[in-house]
Amino acid sequence: MNELTSGGALFGGSMIRWIALLPLVAALVHGVLIGLVRARISDRLVFGVSVSAVTAALVLSMVGLYDLVGVGAADRLLDSVGPWIGGGVGPRSFSAELAFQLDPLSAVFCLVVTGTAIIVYLHAIGGFTSGVFERDTAHRTFAMLDLLVGSTLVLVLADNLILFFLGWAGVGIASQLFAAFDFEDRDASRAGATTFVIGRVGDLGLLAAMLLLFDGLSRAGAPALTFRGIEAAFRLLEGQGVLWLSYGTAQAPLLLEIVGFGLVLAALTKCAQLPLHFWLPQSTTGPATAQALVQSVTTVVAGIYVLLRFAFLLESAPAALRTLILAGAATALLASLAAANQLDLRRLIAFTTSALLGFAVLGVGIGAHSTAAFLMLTHSVSKALILLVAGVVIDAQKGETDLRRMGGLGRRMPGTHWLFLIASLGLVGAFPFANFFPIEELVAFLWISGRPESGLLLAVVVVSVGVLAFAMGRAFFLVFWGNVRPGGLVESPLRDPTGWQQNSLTILAVLAFSGGFLSPAQFWQEVTAAPIDQMDTVGYFLTRVVPGAPDPELVGSERGWLAGLVGLVVILGFALSATRYARRGYRGESKHGVVRVATQWMREMFFFERAYQTILVRPVRRLSELALARGIESQLIDRMVVSGGPGLLRGAVWGVLRRIQNGRMQSYTLLGLLTVLVVVTWMVV
């Protein structure tokens, strides 16, 4: 592999580290000013600190990407800050440097994270300066945005497991803070608690995978913490079992399988996949700008990135890959059905995020790694656009998110109307919008995969795309078409956003339309007569570090009718939603009992969260009340520790005094004689 230090090419000196550190430094500056100094600074300075940090990170990402592009260019740029941690004795000793790496995978993700972040930042600035957002929250919002972006970049650029986990933890902390942003609201506090608990499940999975991996490599005589070292030595772990997990005479489970399951568990939590998906719909109460980053290029990207970074290892864990396939396919179908029946706009968009990430998870499971990465790139701009436009709609409706109370906004907000339509078409993969190309590639990969379940998976993807198109079309027509519902809030003065808000949305709309052409599908070579490696730029660029084919080996009529099938189901989904909702809008719940029950089950995604509440949360809470609150706290701590010795002594003294003070003269006389005897004895001695 061709490697260079960060001093080569255009990257003079140690510059890679600053891609991640600059947003973190900005977050630290904000944190010190808010928490320690408690200084009130101007909004312009707040905006300047954050925007300058992310803009510099974007420029550095572009320069680094330029150094990696081209024939004969380095496959990896390394930036070592210095020695960090080490241990062991003799041949089992190891050391890890505080180092960052920029390879094709991290470079692409750095570019999309910083690029999307700067657009969202500009949108936030426009909202604060125009008075749409509460200006009192500006400083706190940008501090947390910087923490979220910086932690994501640390994770993406980390050269070793320890730094990778620190970035992962930072992303989780920032996501939890945004989920509970309005901490005085009960629902927000509950969302923050749920995000915290589910996040710790993923943390434990990733931490267990890292510890087992390092322990196995140490036992094999090749301890390693860097991704390069792990990739070079993980074959030594093939056939090695985890003995302490074996039961009786049963064979010990394979170490690589357990590591793979830990990585899968971590990814499923961050990507809001079944059965740990429900934190995302709950956490949508935070600022729209934060949600635009959480659901596009930060929190959810972390889950896919961990799978892509460890893709070389997951190939040796077939059971873990089967789990990915099952979870991705199930989430894509069930989350799309949930989105199609939602009454809350923000929850609807959150379920579309889970469904589309299900496609990416499924792609990693079948080995279509470059397609999964490509989908994350196109999804990022479409998702950021739909969330910001939805935020504009919700702000115009004075915080109302119920689709039943919306309607007729298209006549009052024509620009927002068209932006929402572009975002919806880009999100569900209408031709030629951004998501069409990676979804079409995924369908082609499934068609040629040769798996026994390929037909079923292909049907699940196609049906899910159609249902998602129906869901987004339903939201579009309920919000912007038809008449104002009784009790609606559209009577208030409404207008399209202006200034930086409008500019940022326009940029995202252009990218949502044209982003797919960054990596044209293979069959387009027949039209352009260009070589494949020049057409599929993103796919072939990632093959330097990511295993698997850059594009399915399928051309001609088969590829054409598969692409046509994807486009057809999108058209059918939108047409069906238009037929049902364009004129009459929301028609109320069905009068048929079976349909009403089925709708409720799909809306709540088959009550997975309620099942957790019944099976796990409530019994644990009841047990904690009985054992901890009443038993340990009340009986042990309050009586023995808080009251403690003084309480016991006071009880004993009062018990004796009650017996002595009985009103009998002989008792008092005996007490006096005993007292005199004690005094005389003490004086004699």
Q: Which two tokens stand for residue 175?
A: 């996501």
Cβ–Cβ under 8 Å, residues 366 and 382: no
Under-70 pLDDT residues of the chain: 1-13, 37-39, 70-74, 86-94, 243-250, 483-493, 520-536, 588, 590, 595, 607-685
Q: Which residues of 127-153 are buried (b: 16+ CB within 10 A; e: fewer)?
A: bbbeebbeeeebbbbbbbbbbbbbbbb
Cβ–Cβ under 8 Å, residues 586 and 485: yes
Task: Say what the pLDDT of residue 548 is.
Answer: 82
- Pick from 551, 353, 332: nearest CA to 461: 332
Task: Say what the pLDDT of residue 647 is.
Answer: 59
Per residue in 157-192, pLDDT (tens digit) is 999 898 999 999 999 999 888 888 887 777 788 888
| Other residues' Cβ atoms within 10 Å of the Cβ of residue 261 | 18
Per residue in 381-421, pLDDT (tens digit) is 999 999 999 998 888 888 888 888 888 888 888 899 999 99
Task: Say what the pLDDT of residue 581 is.
Answer: 86
Give the C-alpha separation, 303 to 168, whole Å: 9
Per residue in 558-572, pLDDT (tens digit) is 888 888 999 999 999
Task: Say what the pLDDT of residue 183 is.
Answer: 73
Task: Say what the pLDDT of residue 24 is.
Answer: 93
Give the C-alpha separation, 507 to 503, whole Å: 6
Task: Say what the pLDDT of residue 519 is.
Answer: 73
CA-CA-CA-CA dihedral for 520, 525, 529, 531, to nearest 10: 80
Q: Which two tokens stand for residue 672?
A: 């006096």
Cβ–Cβ under 8 Å, residues 465 and 566: yes
Cβ–Cβ under 8 Å, residues 439 and 461: yes
Task: Say what the pLDDT of residue 629 is.
Answer: 55
Helix (H) or strand (E) holding 98: strand 94-102
Residue ranges of domains in the chain:
317-603, 608-684
**DSSP helix/strand/coil, 476:** helix
